[in-house]
Amino acid sequence: NAGVTQTPKFQVLKTGQSMTLQCAQDMNHEYMSWYRQDPGMGLRLIHYSVGAGITDQGEVPNGYNVSRSTTEDFPLRLLSAAPSQTSVYFCASSRDRGSHEQYFGPGTRLTVT
């Protein structure tokens, strides 16, 4: 198993540009989540999904969209990038509602200039 994979590893955007961060897992996990990591703030939940076709907002959803058309994939879209979205983004997945344990991808470092 590859586990949770994320692409790209690094990305630089100009303010106002849009892009999609890719996340895929091959563990047949129901739950998938997106977090952003900023110094001193730990990880904060952006959006999550409890299964294909179902998504919901986390703590900091503004400026981001998600969709879950398949169990495997959970892309995160930045609609119009802003410097405040400069961060490291992590995707995570967990087996099911009772599992609690999340598996994290390697992260995408995004810089918005």
Partner 1 sequence: AQSVTQPDIHITVSEGASLELRCNYSYGATPYLFWYVQSPGQGLQLLLKYFSGDTLVQGIKGFEAEFKRSQSSFNLRKPSVHWSDAAEYFCAVFKAAGNKLTFGGGTRVLVKP
Which residues bind to partner 1, rule: CB under 8 A? 4, 31, 33, 40-45, 48, 50, 56, 58, 90, 92, 94, 97, 100-107
Closer residue to partner 1, CB minimum distance, 24 or 43? 43
Q: Is the peptide bond before 106 cis (omega within 30 degrees of 0)?
A: no
Least distance between partner 1 and beta carbon 73 (Å): 18
Least distance between partner 1 and beta carbon 65 (Å): 17
Q: What is the largest CA-CA distance in the chain?
A: 41
Phi-psi region of 95 (alpha: psi -120 to 50; beta: other; left: phi over 0): alpha
